[in-house]
């Protein structure tokens, strides 16, 4: 296991998972899922996404960045649910609350190439990731591209905490294994990524 990476299988009980899905339905009604694009090429991501919290991560031809409103409507992002704030406070070891929660929805053949979460100011805060729905094959390597990687099958309710040396490691989703969960009515996977953006 990569130093600084904490893998907590089944950390969220099924009732909590269902509660989060209900929270997300309301959030998506207020801040609909959108398709980000790569800055230079304009190539669309295969995931759809939205955000929760004071800041939200977006990607378009203008680059990667955090902003306080939805890129289409301009309205503020919905708040982070209390259940997720409690999760952050119990697992992050960081004295301040997250400012952003990325919501990535994987359907069909959606995946996420290897990347680093490096658009934040404060790397001393970990990234806390929650999996809901179908199982995903998660891959993590080192702080540089190339080299040895490790895979973990993330199931619904699993939580990852990427801190320390793992905070700036390359990671991604190779594929989602359809039909492995009944949590989401129409299948697919939701990944919730809690992040601190600014230094206190």
Q: Spell out a b/e string for 64-81, using b for 16 or more CB atoms within 10 Å of the CB, else e.
A: eebeeebbeeeeebbebb
DSSP reduced 3-state for 171: strand
Q: Per-residue pLDDT averaged across 2-22, rounded?
A: 96
pLDDT of residue 147: 85
Residue 17: enclosing H or E segment and its boundaries?
A: helix 14-30
- The CA dihedral of 69, 71, 72, 78, to the nearest 10 degrees, is -40
Segment 42-54 mean pLDDT? 97
Under the banding of pLDDT at 50, 70 and 90, the label for residue 163 is: very high
Considering the segment(s) 5-195 as one domain, its CATH architecture is Sandwich (2.60)
**pLDDT beyond 80 at 1:** no
pLDDT, average across residues 21-45: 96
Rounded to 5 degrees, φ, ψ at 76 are -60, 150
Question: How much is the pLDDT for 198?
Answer: 96
pLDDT value of position 165: 94
pLDDT above 70 covers a percentage of the chain that reads 100
Residue 169 has pLDDT above 90, yes or no: yes
pLDDT of residue 11: 98
Task: Indicate the pTM of the whole model.
Answer: 0.95
- Average confidence (pLDDT) over 102-106: 98
With 90 as the cut, is the pLDDT of residue 146 above it? no
Q: What is the mean pLDDT of the chain?
A: 96
DSSP E strand boundaries for 11-144:
48-52, 56-60, 63-67, 100-106, 112-115, 127-133, 135-140
Q: For residue range 120-144, what is the model confidence (pLDDT) as tens digits?
A: 999 999 999 999 999 999 999 999 9
């Amino acid at each position: 296991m990569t130093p600084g990476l904490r893998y907590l299988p089944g950390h969220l009980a099924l009732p909590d998972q269902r509660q989060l899905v209900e929270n997300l339905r309301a959030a998506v009604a207020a801040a609909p899922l959108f398709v980000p694009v790569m800055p230079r090429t304009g190539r669309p991501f295969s995931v759809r996404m939205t955000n929760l919290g004071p800041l939200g991560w977006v990607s378009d031809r203008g680059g990667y960045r955090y902003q306080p409103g939805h890129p289409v409507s301009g309205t503020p992002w919905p708040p982070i649910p209390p259940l997720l704030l409690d999760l952050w406070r119990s697992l992050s070891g960081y004295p301040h609350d997250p400012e952003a929660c990325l919501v990535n929805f994987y359907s069909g053949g959606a995946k996420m190439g290897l990347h680093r979460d490096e658009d934040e100011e404060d790397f001393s805060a970990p990234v806390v990731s929650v999996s809901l729905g179908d199982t995903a094959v998660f891959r993590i390597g080192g702080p540089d591209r190339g080299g040895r990687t490790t895979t973990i099958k993330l199931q619904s309710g699993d939580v990852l905490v990427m801190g320390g040396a793992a905070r700036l490691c390359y990671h991604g989703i190779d594929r989602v294994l359809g039909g492995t969960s009944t949590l989401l009515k129409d299948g697919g996977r939701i990944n919730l990524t809690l992040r601190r953006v600014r230094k206190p």
